[in-house]
Structure formats: C-alpha cells, structure tokens
Amino acid sequence: MNIAIDAGNSSTKIALIEEGRVVETLRTTYLDREFLHSLWQRLDGRVTRVVLSSVVDVPAQVEEFLNSHTDGYLRVTAATPMPLRNLYATPHTLGIDRLAAAVGAATIYPSSNVLVVDLGTAMTVDIVTARGEFLGGNITLGAEGRFRALNQFTARLPLVEKPDEEAAWGYDTASAIQSGVVRGMTYELEGYIARANEEFEDLKIIFTGGDAKYFAKRLKNAIFATSDLVVLGLNTILEYNATN
C-alpha cells in the first residue's frame, strides 16, 4: 500500500492507495506524529511507500516518522523528477498541487490532450498534451473568493453562499450575487472548454477540487469529476521515482 499526503492551507488529505486505486481517504487539520502513529497501527505494517506534497511547513518529526517507517519516502518539490515534461517558464513558482493534478490527468487519460480544471479556493485551468507535456494555464478566484470579494470590497453587498439552484436572473440582491458568480463561472468554463477544443484534438476534460461536481453538472460537456486527482498524481510521481 502507498500513502499520498496532500497538505493544504486548511487541512491535509491522506489517501490510501492500492494497485493505483484510492481505497480510503482521511482528512486532518493538523498532521503530526501522533496522527501518523495511530494510522500506522491501524494499517498494521501494510504501508510500503509514502509521498507528500505540502504548501505549508511540515514538522520535522513528521518527516522523521515517514522516513523511518517506510521503505521509501518522497517529499515532492520543484526539483523532483516528473513523468511529464514541465514547460512552465518558472517551475519554482508552480504549485505542486497543480503539477500533481496534471500528472493525475495524464494517468487517467494517457496519450490524450486534457483540460484540467481545479475548482477550489482558486480556480486553475491547465493543459496537458497527448505528448506528455504540461503547458501551464490560468489562475483566477474560485467561487468562495468571488463571494467574499464582493462582500469585502463593497459597502452594501452581503456575503452569500452557492445556491443549490441559481436563478437565470437574480430577483433580489442575494440571488443576483449568487447567479452572477455561479453563472459567470459557468460561462467562463464554457469559454475555456470551447477554446481548448479548437486548439486540441480529442480533448478530455477533468474537474477536481471541492466545487468540481457542483460546476460539472451545470455544463453540457462530458466531464470526469474526481476529488482524488492530486493524490493520484502524487502516487504516479512516487512510482515514477521509485523505478527510475
């Protein structure tokens, strides 16, 4: 069994992976030695290798534990060898989660052109080519950030959340904001998909992140939505480095 750890700003996702498939996921707000010790006891020696990606500082005791309790521990950085050719002009500024998602997309759709959309705090839209290249893409605010921006940078607009169903045209201030953000992002995504389809043949589309399924159901295109894209990519990076 491999373990892929994706440590983000607000929480850490831990994926247990067997034969390339995620069999269980856990989340914790604080990754420490005690949490890992409890997990290792439950898994009873079945862990083979571990890969970790983090946008926050990782306690030294965590890395010491992972180094001493596995046959192979990999901390992914900008210098880590990748199974994709990274064409980003500034690889040291590229978020590891974006690159791992791209690797995950190439794992799911090998030898295909893929549009990778991560719908979280930020919305990122990236291209992976059938030649195994990460071209890069665009970054903008996600839904929550747009709602918060309208509230914080205006005097009177309230803070609202995503509706289950948005109106075509807002009938009061709250619904106008909800429809404006949700429909605006939907139209934005439709534009990206249309442009990518013009440039890349037989395009596959993957949505990931917390809002992936919310927006995927609002689009008519065939979209594969998964919350496991980053950890699948991390596992592919782990296996690639273990065999090369």
Residues 209 and 212: their CA atoms lie apart, in Å, by: 5
Instruction: Give the end-to-end CA distance of the chain in Å, rounded to a whole number.
Output: 19
Does residue 57 carry a catalytic annotation?
A: no
**Partners of residue 216 on adjacent β-strands:** none
User: Comparing C-alpha atoms, which of 42, 37, 1 is closest to residue 22?
Assistant: 1
Residue with structure tokens 């045209």? 169
Residues 157 and 150: their CA atoms lie apart, in Å, by: 6
Contact at 8 Å (CB) between 101 and 231? no
Contact at 8 Å (CB) between 216 and 119? no
Please compute, for residue 181, the number of CA atoms within 13 A of its CA located in the half-sphere on the CB side.
Answer: 26
CA distances from 153 to 163, 182, 200 (A): 21, 19, 38
Contact at 8 Å (CB) between 138 and 155? no
Residues 113 and 207: their CA atoms lie apart, in Å, by: 14
> Given 6, 97, 211, 228, which residue is catalytic?
97
User: Comparing C-alpha atoms, which of 14, 216, 37 is closest to residue 119?
Assistant: 216
Active-site positions read 97
